[in-house]
Structure 1
Amino acid sequence: MKIMTQKSCKFLNCYLIFLLTVFIAGIYSGAADTTDLFPDKAYPEMATGYTVEYHDTYKVVQINDPWGRESENYTYLLVQRGEEVPDGYPDAEVFYVPVQNVVTMGVVHIPHISELGEIETITGHNGVKQVHDEGFQNRLSNGDIIEVGSGAVSMTSTLKMEDLIELEPELIFCVANGNKEYDNHYKLLEAGLKPVLTADWMENDPLARAEWIKFFSLFYNKEKEANEYFDEIKQNYNNIKEEAEQTNEKPTIFSGIDYQGGWYAPGGKSYVAELFRDAGGDYILGDNEETGSQMLDFETVYDKAYAADYWINIGYANDNDELLALDPRFAKFDAYKNGNVYHYNARVNENGGNDYWESGIIHPDIVLADLVKILHPDLLPDHEFYYYTHIGQE
């Protein structure tokens, strides 16, 4: 038998050390290649309009049935900047995150972006005068945001397409209705731009609508902030709801207004009706199955609402004079006679921008507190109205 010399042993040891080093380096290299770039995840708990799937270097976001017709779904591939676009998603629109240059088509997009601390990424907006957000208006005054349309979110004729294209936005947050003849969404696609549909308006629960802040956070890699925000809002909302559940009184409520021959009122399964219920109210159309706004005639509403305790949300009117100017018959309602008329017009700027339609979307807890203050003032004695005013009887 051949005995291994000391020199041979030394060579073998060196060779084994070399192999071990290469092996360990390979392990660390492989680990680096599979590092999760998104340690903070934000999955929807209550919102049903979208889903998100996380991978190490990208996210797959899908908008589900954005118009309630089971007709179209949209997939967005959010790839971390500096990483390669993965194969296997031929129909997905690709965006590199975090995004840095966006355009917003409606005021409903502003509060989510503002709350995430990303208002500086907005370079264009459709209907700048309608925005209430102070940070947005400051950037507008400084020339950092331009107007790309007159504000009718679903009418293509209002858009300034040349200005939009010149901005070269990475994406355009867009509200759409699925009508190809009038919809911004399709027009933007035809122009080679990259719209992102938001369908929070399809949610029938106030908290589900607020949870769409998580959707926006996906484009900014701010899932941690969105989770923390929503958890706090949800806790606040449920605490207030529990307060309202302590009372056996359920004041009756009617809502909306008659306009040009039709009374537009929230359906019984709408998010507004849910707010009324959670505030401890009895909505006169609560047994209705509609999830959106519905049109009724005056006589139908009067038969149901003439003796109702409260009239909440009066549409286009801001005071008693405007209310009766629209229709003198409104004075017949008991709620009007008793001075129990309330409206969400406490936070309106000089251009008509109403914060109820902005921050109210992501602050359903404050909206609920206002409603509880209206219906059960003794339950929240220290709360002061934030979005609502008491129209009363002058």
Structure 2
Amino acid sequence: MSKKQFYKLFIGMVCVSILISCGEKRKTQSKPISQQVSQIEYATGFTIQKNQQFTEIKVTSAWPGSERNFTYALVPRENLAAITLPSDAYDAIVATPVERIVITSTTHIPSLDALGVLESVVGFPNTDLISSLPTRERIDQGLITELGTNENINTEVVLELNPELIMGFGINDTNKAYDVIKRAGIPVVYNGDWVEKTPLGKAEWIKFFAPFFQKEKEADRIFEEIETAYTEAKALAQRAIEKPTVLTGGLYKDVWYISGGKSWMAQFLADANAEYIWSDTEETGGIGLSLEAVLEKAQKADYWLNPSLHTSYAELEKANAHYLQFSAFSNKKVYSNAIKKGATGGLVFYELAPQRPDLVLKDLISILHPGLLEDYEPHFYRPLQ
């Protein structure tokens, strides 16, 4: 063999060796984790990113003005042994599907009920606030334990229940009971459904609950049905010829609290084709006004909604004689969402309405535009007695 032939053979062998080596390196490299971001159309307070081995949920609005994001990793039980996640990268790592959960707000109940996972709930603070019939049955059977109040949860009872998860509700991050629970190794996940400002935004939080129970497809289907029903009701309201004026709220001590122009209630009234008197304000929550300021602007309002917790005209008159000056009072056009209650006094509206905005909108349409919804029985609103 000549030197030239040997040299060619040597170069060829080196090239083959390099190719084999590269191929072996490719084989030993781990596959990149595929990522899929779940579509959230209306809610602004959370995001969901589904990876190959786990799901990452980020809560960006746990309470009004919150400057901190919370990130949670949800890992299917069958993947727990095969995956290692840095604990300092997540506020909680939760095995799914969750089988034992403590919830802290009545707004959590309708989503869990719709997803068919109520049997996972083992504890709740102040169970008298719950109006849901199937949930009350579980309370009566001793399957859901009373835990005190959200601000002062009985941590000893929680630890005895040994839940896999606390679905937390908070106005800030200073809940000492949650700190105790977390130190005991029980994950606390903040839920900010109540912070959302739009009807469909609140309802879309069912998609937040779903990954904890591996019920994503069910949540998508349920929300799509709610969205469709809401959109159809909104379109129906636009057929109304008249656009009635609306006043909201009532006095608490010397302050009248009305809904802000960018609030949840204001959005309902806009979609119901009503003229909300304070629709031009920028507040997303309540606005405190004097009685004189409200009389000046809304004395002739066609309808009056949610007059504090009063349920009758006699109560209103007794609370403040100035209420009689409003046209809605004299014309008996005052409606309340606080009349329909559960067996132990819980208000049905504050529990179910966030998850069923389509029913709220239909209630308002039936009140503000009589005749558009024939033979309709309101779910939440009732005329004052």
Per the shorter chain, which TM-score range? Answer: 0.7 to 0.9
Contact 1:177 1:183 in 2 (8 A): no
1:73 counterpart residue number: 69
Out of 23, 29, 41, the residue aligned to residue 45 of structure 1 is: 41
Identity among equivalent positions (%) equals 33
The residue type paired with residue 336 of structure 1 is: F
Find out whether 1:58 has 2:54 as its counterpart: yes
Cα deviation for residue 55 of structure 1 reads 0.9
Counterpart secondary structure, 2:48: strand
Q: CA RMSD in A?
A: 2.5
Contact 1:42 1:224 in 2 (8 A): no
Cα deviation for residue 122 of structure 1 reads 0.4
Out of 375, 379, 390, the residue aligned to residue 368 of structure 2 is: 375
TM-score after normalising by structure 2: 0.87
Provide the C-alpha distance between the structure 2 equivalents of 1:218 and 1:178, rounded to a whole number of angstroms: 25
Query: Is the deviation greater in 107-116 or in 41-50?
Result: 41-50
Going from structure 1 to structure 2, the CA distance change for 1:284 and 1:128 (only over 3 Å counts) comes to: same
Cα deviation for residue 337 of structure 1 reads 0.5
2:131 counterpart residue number: 132
Going from structure 1 to structure 2, the CA distance change for 1:326 and 1:197 (only over 3 Å counts) comes to: same
Counterpart secondary structure, 2:294: helix
Cα deviation for residue 301 of structure 1 reads 1.2
1:327 counterpart residue number: 320
Contact 2:260 2:284 in 1 (8 A): yes
Cα deviation for residue 91 of structure 1 reads 2.9
2:4 counterpart residue number: none
TM-score after normalising by structure 1: 0.85
Query: Is the deviation greater in 41-50 or in 183-192?
Result: 183-192
Going from structure 1 to structure 2, the CA distance change for 1:333 and 1:165 (only over 3 Å counts) comes to: same
Cα deviation for residue 60 of structure 1 reads 0.5
Provide the C-alpha distance between the structure 1 equivalents of 2:254 and 2:177, rounded to a whole number of angstroms: 29
Counterpart secondary structure, 2:345: coil
1:258 counterpart residue number: 251
Aligned length: 358
Question: Map of 1:236-275 to 2, 5 A cutoff?
Answer: 236-275=229-268
2:163 counterpart residue number: 169
The residue type paired with residue 95 of structure 1 is: V
Contact 2:63 2:171 in 1 (8 A): yes
Find out whether 1:91 has 2:89 as its counterpart: yes
The superposition leaves residues 22-75 of structure 1 with CA deviations (integer Å, 9 ceiling, x where unpaired) of xxxxx9xx99x9999x99x85321101001111122101000132343521101
1:17 counterpart residue number: none
Find out whether 1:285 has 2:271 as its counterpart: no
Provide the C-alpha distance between the structure 2 equivalents of 1:286 and 1:191, rounded to a whole number of angstroms: 47
Provide the C-alpha distance between the structure 2 equivalents of 1:187 and 1:295, rounded to a whole number of angstroms: 37
Question: Map of 1:1-394 to 2, 5 A cutoff?
Answer: 42-69=38-65, 71-84=67-80, 85-88=83-86, 90-92=88-90, 93-150=92-149, 153=150, 155-156=151-152, 159-178=153-172, 180=174, 185-186=178-179, 188-189=181-182, 192-391=185-384
Provide the C-alpha distance between the structure 1 equivalents of 2:295 and 2:178, rounded to a whole number of angstroms: 39
Contact 1:170 1:194 in 2 (8 A): yes
Provide the C-alpha distance between the structure 2 equivalents of 1:115 and 1:229, rounded to a whole number of angstroms: 8
Gaps (5+ residues) in structure 2?
1-26
Cα deviation for residue 341 of structure 1 reads 0.4
The residue type paired with residue 366 of structure 2 is: K
Cα deviation for residue 319 of structure 1 reads 1.1
Provide the C-alpha distance between the structure 2 equivalents of 1:43 and 1:185, rounded to a whole number of angstroms: 30
Provide the C-alpha distance between the structure 2 equivalents of 1:346 and 1:313, rounded to a whole number of angstroms: 10
Provide the C-alpha distance between the structure 1 equivalents of 2:333 and 2:266, rounded to a whole number of angstroms: 18
1:22 counterpart residue number: none
Provide the C-alpha distance between the structure 1 equivalents of 2:146 and 2:167, rounded to a whole number of angstroms: 14
Going from structure 1 to structure 2, the CA distance change for 1:309 and 1:188 (only over 3 Å counts) comes to: farther
Contact 1:63 1:197 in 2 (8 A): yes
Counterpart secondary structure, 2:213: coil
Gaps (5+ residues) in structure 1?
1-26
